[in-house]
Homo-oligomer: A and B are copies of this chain.
Amino acid sequence: MKIICPKGSLLYGVNTVSKAVPTRTTMAVLECILIDASEGVIKLTANDTELGIETRIEGTIEQPGVIALDARVFSDIVRKLPENDITIETGETFKTRISCEKTEINIVGKSGEDFSPLPKLQQSNEIVISQFTFKEVIRQTIFSIADNDNTKIMTGECFEIKNDQLRVISLDGHRISVRKVKLKGTYPDVKVIVPGKTLSEVSKILPGEADRDVNIYLERNHIMFQFDTTTVVSRLIEGEFFKIDTMLVSEYDTKLSIKKKDLLDCIDRASLLVKEGDKKPIVMKIEDEKMNLKMISFIGSMNEEIDIRKEGKDIEIAFNPKFCMDALRVIDDEDITMYMRNAKSPCFIRDEADTYIYLILPVNFNSGSR
């Protein structure tokens, strides 16, 4: 094989597929990036068998062929070479010569034959969303997946298509995040669970342009994302996702509007008084026109008042400050609306159109410390 690629293009490709290189594995070939120039185009691929990424890059093929190179070594080399055309040439026993201007580096690759290719999908159940919207949807839900494997299903996000609408749901037992996106066109109903890791890697490599799309294919065992010259294929998580619709019925006795930034800044300050591992709640006392926030910890106490608009009953309710901040940080609206029923029932933060719903369970607070 002999190919010549502009450094920028090669670096983009290497950075993209590297997201599917496992950090630790017993199969050395998985730590490699496959360079495939056997079929008239130059393709880079990495595949950890759960998640695979393939991308096509610019370049000239002088001699077709295939080689697998250690991902870390190869990407380090590409990054540090001068900004110019890079030539990659393989010889006997997978010896690989990487050269650029007056630099010449020799490393030993591996046979491309041991490399597992991406699974071939039928490309059914296609949906098309703008890259920007899809990246936002991931950002606005990914934070509330569970971070351990005790309940495997909770480490993924549910993608549900129903009534020509995509609903993305994540939950961890203390909170639920829901984002809805209206789709263009007509779609059959389908429901799958996508690993959180896949979504966070896709989100990293997705340029996020508003005028370019990502095509998503949902199949029985796999999901595929296609954008620009890149294809990502991931296994799905098996199982039945939680039925959340009964939990989302939000009858409320208190409805309030508040400036998002005021509330976020205030809870952020309060959480200064909480050391890691401590479980001190932020207590909100909601009256007409104002919310009083209080935090008492071993370090000290905080007291603050924020202006609000309220309908319905006064209420006193407490939350894990982190859960409030996580949701507030991803909401783009300046003014938000919160719905509450009583100190034991979930609180909802949602917009009129239910584009987003954040459900947060309250926590007990010691009324003696008020």
**A105/B305 in contact, CB under 8 A:** no
Using CB atoms and an 8 Å cutoff, list the residues of chain A in contact with chain B. 70, 73, 76-77, 80-82, 102-108, 265-266, 268-269, 272-273, 299-306
Specify the chain B residue showing the minimal Cβ separation from A79: B272
Residues of B within 8 Å of A103, CB to CB, are 266, 269, 302-304
Which B residues touch A77, using CB under 8 A? 269, 272
Given A73-B299, A77-B272, does the pair A104, B265 have CB atoms closer than 8 Å? Answer: no
A88 to chain B, nearest CB (A): 13
Known: A104-B304, A304-B102. A80 touches B269 (CB 8 A): yes
B residues in contact with A268, CB < 8 Å: 80
Give chain B nearest CB distance to A7 CB in angstroms.
13
By Cβ-Cβ distance, the 4 closest A-B pairs, closest first, are A107-B300, A80-B269, A103-B304, A76-B272
Please give, as numbers and ranges, the residues of chain B lying within 8 Å of A299 by CB-CB distance. 70, 73, 107
Contact B105 A300 (CB under 8 A): yes
Contact A300 B108 (CB under 8 A): yes
Separation of A272 and B107 alpha carbons in the complex (Å): 11
Q: Which B residues lie within 8 Å of A105 (CB)?
A: 269, 273, 300-303
Shortest Cβ distance from residue A101 to the other chain B in the assembled complex, whole angstroms: 9
Residues of chain B within 8 A of A108, CB atoms compared: 300
Least CB distance, A323 to chain B, in whole angstroms = 19
* In the complex, residue of chain B having the shortest beta-carbon distance to the beta carbon of A307: B102
**Subset of 25 A-B contacts with CB under 8 Å:** A70-B299, A73-B272, A73-B299, A73-B300, A77-B269, A77-B272, A80-B265, A80-B269, A80-B272, A81-B269, A102-B304, A102-B305, A102-B306, A103-B266, A103-B303, A103-B304, A104-B303, A105-B269, A105-B300, A105-B301, A105-B302, A106-B301, A106-B302, A107-B299, A107-B300
Inter-subunit contact B106/A300 (CB<8 Å) = yes
Shortest beta-carbon distance, A361 to chain B, in Å?
Answer: 26
Residues of chain B contacted by A269 (CB below 8 angstroms): 77, 80-81, 103, 105
Residues in B with CB closer than 8 Å to A82 are 265
Across the interface, which residues of B come within 8 angstroms of A300, CB to CB? 73, 105-108
CB distance from A107 to the nearest CB of B (A): 3
Contacts of A102 in B (CB 8 A): 304-306
A73 and B300 CA atoms in complex are apart in Å by 10
Q: A70-B299, A73-B300, A103-B303 are in contact. List 6 more A-B contacts (CB 8 A).
A: A102-B305, A103-B266, A103-B304, A104-B303, A106-B302, A107-B300
> A81, A108, A302: which has the most chain B beta carbons within 10 Å?
A302
- Tell me the complex Cα distance, A266–B306, Å: 58
A70 vs B299: C-alpha distance when bound (angstroms): 10
Give chain B nearest CB distance to A265 CB in angstroms: 7
- A268-B269 Cα distance, complex, nearest whole Å: 43
Least CB separation from A103: chain B residue? B304
- Chain B residues contacting A81 (CB-CB under 8 Å) are 269
> Which residues of chain B are near A266, meaning CB under 8 Å?
103
